[in-house]
């Protein structure tokens, strides 16, 4: 069996999507915790292997169990937090594609947001929303809300 390279989708085709990590503080913090647990488990495991003469039997067993628990915690972090954040980021990239229709929709939403900002307290806030300070999930929720509002006001002349 020869290796042809590239990622393969379940049907045998290349998936064609770029795998990248989300550029958010939340993702970096979880990734650092994940990497820290793995490195600490590796250090504890190597210490028990090379210095096993210096440990008592109980301490050796406790160190091996602790290293295994750290590995298990890293797996749980990857399965619950990191994977979910990566999947949400990939979905967000798919939504924010570079097609003409997507750019036109984004332009329309920005215009609607500017119009709502000028209406005052009844129609929206006077301050523009700073999306850079939001987490990725908050940005997705905000954009979905703005899209829903745009759909509701589409025929009203705004």
Structure tokens at 19: 């795998």
Q: What is the pTM of this model?
A: 0.47
What is the pLDDT of the chain when averaged over all its residues?
75
Ramachandran category for residue 6: left, alpha or beta (phi over 0 → left; psi -120 to 50 → alpha): left
The DSSP code sequence of 13-66 is: SB----------HHHHHHHHHHHHHHHHHHHHHHHHHHTTTTS-HHHHHHHHHH
Structure tokens at 40: 């600490």
Higher pLDDT, residue 1 or 23: 23
Over residues 2-50, the pLDDT tens digits come to: 444 445 555 544 455 555 777 888 888 889 999 999 999 999 988 888 8
């Amino acid at each position: 069996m020869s290796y042809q390279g590239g990622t393969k989708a379940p049907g045998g085709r290349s998936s064609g999507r770029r795998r990248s990590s989300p550029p958010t503080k939340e993702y970096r913090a979880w990734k650092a915790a994940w990497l820290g647990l793995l490195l600490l488990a590796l250090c504890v495991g190597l210490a028990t292997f090379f210095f096993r003469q210096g440990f008592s039997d109980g301490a050796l067993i406790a160190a091996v169990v602790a290293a295994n628990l750290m590995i298990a915690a890293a797996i749980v972090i990857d399965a619950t937090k990191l994977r979910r954040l990566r999947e949400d980021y990939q979905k967000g990239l798919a939504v924010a594609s570079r097609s003409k229709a997507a750019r036109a929709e984004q332009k329309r939403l920005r215009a609607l947001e500017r119009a709502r900002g000028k209406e005052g307290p009844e129609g929206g806030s006077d301050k523009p929303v700073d999306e850079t300070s939001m987490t990725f999930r908050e940005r997705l929720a905000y954009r979905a809300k703005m899209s829903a509002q745009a759909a509701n006001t589409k025929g009203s002349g705004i």
